[in-house]
Amino acid sequence: MTDRPSILVPLRVLEGESVPEGVPELLAHAHVVLLGYHVIPEQTAPGQARMQFEDRATERLDDYEEMFEEAGATVERRLVFTHDGQKTIDRMIAEHDCMAVLVPNATGPVEDVLVPVRGAIGVDRLARVVASVFGEMDADVTLYHVADEDTTDDDIQTLLGGMTDRLVEFGMDPSTIETRIDRDQDPLDAIADIADSFDTVVMGETDPSLATFVFGMPADQIAERFLGPVFVVQREPAPEDE
């Protein structure tokens, strides 16, 4: 067993989604769970699509697997035909205990990493992902917090300081870690704006609420606006009730 974190890379393998430039290098120090999936309409039985497309999909996944392995990652792969892509992705996260899902967009060599920190919850997993993926790279990590009126500077310092400590604990060089704080802005807009000057974003998943139900997950919205690769760090899996 490796102590590399498992990162899920979902690709719609038959719809021309391939491994974008820079992504294998980005994940060189990770354990990649490569999910090739194909979403089919309900009129079609999944087995029917499989009979026709399995060979082509397997061929492509072979290529992708090689790309990740050449860059240095360890790779596991799955190929799934499904009516419901989200269900498949959720199942893969659970089965492989994935720490994060990568929204695969192209990037150049990674020098600056943006890590929006929302609150104390989930900081541990966030730090683990950042430290293990970027720890051995020559990248600068910026911890970013958008504070609201009620939050004192002390609170923010405790939050970001705690996060820095964890990163160092997991083996990161403190000199590569910066912090940045903005106030009185819409967090989502602020993150999306500032992200433009970074190469990649690592952020936590939010708890589902009415707002996320209506507008979608913030992480997904950032991914849509940012156009670079986004790591969505998953919440701690709920203890399984057998």
What are the residues binding another protein (CB under 8 A)? 40-54, 57-58, 78-84, 87-88, 91
The DSSP line for 180-192 is EEEESS-HHHHHH
Nearer to another protein, 54 or 220 (CB): 54
Nearer to another protein, 34 or 129 (CB): 34
Nearer to another protein, 57 or 117 (CB): 57
Q: How far is the CB of 126 from another protein (least distance, A)?
A: 28
Q: Assign 73 to helix, strand or coil.
A: coil
Q: How far is the CB of 89 from another protein (least distance, A)?
A: 10
Nearer to another protein, 48 or 158 (CB): 48
Q: How far is the CB of 72 from another protein (least distance, A)?
A: 24
Q: What are the φ/ψ torsions at residue 76 (nearest 5 degrees)?
A: -120, 145
Distance of alpha carbon 216 from alpha carbon 212, whole angstroms: 5
- In angstroms, the Cα distances linking 107 to 98, 111, 200, 204, 212 are 22, 10, 8, 20, 27
Distance of alpha carbon 230 from alpha carbon 101, whole angstroms: 8
Q: How far is the CB of 73 from another protein (least distance, A)?
A: 19
Nearest Cα residue to 151 out of 120, 188, 194: 120
